[in-house]
Amino acid sequence: MLRSILRTSRCLARRQINSLALAIPQYSSAKTIKYSCKSPLIRRLSASSDNPQAEYVDPVVFEEVCNETLESLCDYFEELIDENPNFKGADVTYSDGVLTVAFGPPHGTYVINRQTPNKQIWLSSPTSGPKRYDLVLKNNGYWIYKHDGVPLHRLLQEEISKIVKNKVEFENCAHSLV
């Protein structure tokens, strides 16, 4: 048991040293690190000799991008529900990184939430089912489902347009690529 604790402590210490080396590039002896800012929130880190195009998002930045995305979606869903008199009993809630949009029968409930350990946003859709979206660092950042290449906002735009029976535009939401 003592070995396990020591091994865990060494791993944590190594992670802290590595994160300090990433934060202060001149102290990194293992690799040359290049930063190029694409937006105030997102930066690209090319540090791996195996993959010179490796993308890195700082955990704090990831949380900020998630919060901006989810808050923007929450605001837009609230507008849609307020403007559409057909949604009696529809409700939008956002708390602790979980956005729930209940359209009521027969449309169902959408749940969109952040998954910090995986650096993803997860969507549970009554129409298309569950999907996991990864952050792409191009174009100020956007969320994409890697299995079909469809961005989060585009899928929401298509599905919600059918529910509302009118075209909706998610392109003005934060971190959208429609």
Provide the edge-to-edge strand list for the sheet that holds 129-136: 91-95, 98-104, 108-115, 120-125, 129-136, 142-145, 150-151
Helix (H, G, I), strand (E, B) or coil at 164: helix
How many CB atoms sit inside 10 A of residue 107's CB?
19
Write out the two tokens for 3. 């070995």
- Residue showing tokens 């402590």: 9
Residue 139 has a pLDDT of: 78
Q: Which of 135, 4, 1 is nearest to 67 (CA)?
A: 135
Residue-by-residue DSSP string for 57-92 = --HHHHHHHHHHHHHHHHHHHHHHHHH-TT-TT-EE
Give Cβ neighbours of residue 168 (< 8 Å, ≥ 6 apart): 80, 157, 160, 161
Residue 33 has a pLDDT of: 25
Q: For the chain, report the end-to-end CA distance as a whole number of angstroms.
A: 52
Q: Are 167 and 158 in contact (CB under 8 A)?
A: no
Q: Which residues of the chain have pLDDT under 70?
A: 1-55, 178
Q: Which of 111, 91, 90, 89 is nearest to 100 (CA)?
A: 111
Convert the pLDDT of each residue in 120-161 to its tens digit: 999 999 999 999 999 988 878 899 999 999 999 999 999 999
Q: In angstroms, rounded to a whole number, what is the distance separating the alpha carbons of residues 155 and 169?
A: 11
